[in-house]
Amino acid sequence: MIDTNFRIMSWNVRGLNSPAKRTAVCEVAHTNKIAILNLQETKTESWTTQLAVEVGGPSLQGGVVLPATGTRGGAAIFWDKKIVNIVTHMIPSFSITVRVEIVGSSELFWMTTVYGPSLDEQKANFLSEVASAAPPPSEPWMLNGDFNMIYQARDKSNGLINRRMMGRFCRAIDIAGVREVKCRNRRFTWSSE
């Protein structure tokens, strides 16, 4: 039997343009034995092989990137080829979707990492993209990233809530068939530190 217990990390890195940040990402991934690393807000417009190696390090040899537009957005997925193989990938405007095969087994699942736009005029296109990324309901799918939206008012730290956009986000994730993975011992999956 194949051990399918492997680690997946999703991290809004808020930019990979400094060598120190790339080193930190690489060290955290290596120390925690991450098999699939999803990065959002890379702010990296131009990727080179050397840059990918700096981020992925010796363990995460595979990579697919969505370049940033100037200094906005960007995403990347890196993986350990000894543990998983990426069978196919799609890179539209705000996300990367990959089909993951666990090495040595016939197990497959889909994974999408997103970095949602901060500008309201782009959010409708983003939500349409998220909904269309969903595979057939019979196929496992993990959706992660920074949506730059909330779907519950209690997720907002202040009273400034765009309820219309929140409703659109709820409808999009309902259409996609997504369920929230609840946190243990904390309210949010994010932290400013």
Q: Within 10 A of 176 (CB to CB), how many other CB atoms are there?
A: 18
In a domain, 58, yes or no: yes
Q: Tell me, what's the pLDDT at 16? A: 96
The predicted-structure confidence for 95-105, as pLDDT tens digits, reads as follows: 999 999 999 99
Is residue 117 a part of any domain in this protein?
Answer: yes
Q: Is residue 192 included in any domain, yes or no?
A: no
**pLDDT of amino acid 161:** 78
Q: Residues with Cβ < 8 Å from 191, sequence gap 6 or more?
A: none
CATH of the domain at 38: 3.60.10.10
Span 131-150, average pLDDT = 91
**Domain range holding 64?**
7-176
Place of tokens 């193989």: 85
Structural domain contains residue 166: yes
Query: 59-86 pLDDT, tens per residue?
Result: 999 999 999 998 889 999 999 999 999 9
**Region 134-144 average pLDDT:** 93
Given pLDDT bands bounded at 50, 70 and 90, which one contains residue 4? low
What's the structural domain count of the chain?
A: 1
Measured from the Cβ of residue 109, the count of other Cβ atoms closer than 10 Å reads 16
Identify the pLDDT of residue 193: 47
Q: Is residue 125 part of a domain?
A: yes
Q: Is residue 190 assigned to a domain?
A: no
pLDDT of amino acid 56: 95
In a domain, 1, yes or no: no
pLDDT mean across residues, the chain: 89
Per residue in 156-171, pLDDT (tens digit) is 666 677 778 888 888 8
The enclosing H or E element of 99 equals strand 95-102
Alpha-helical segments (H) within the chain: 19-31, 49-56, 120-133, 163-176
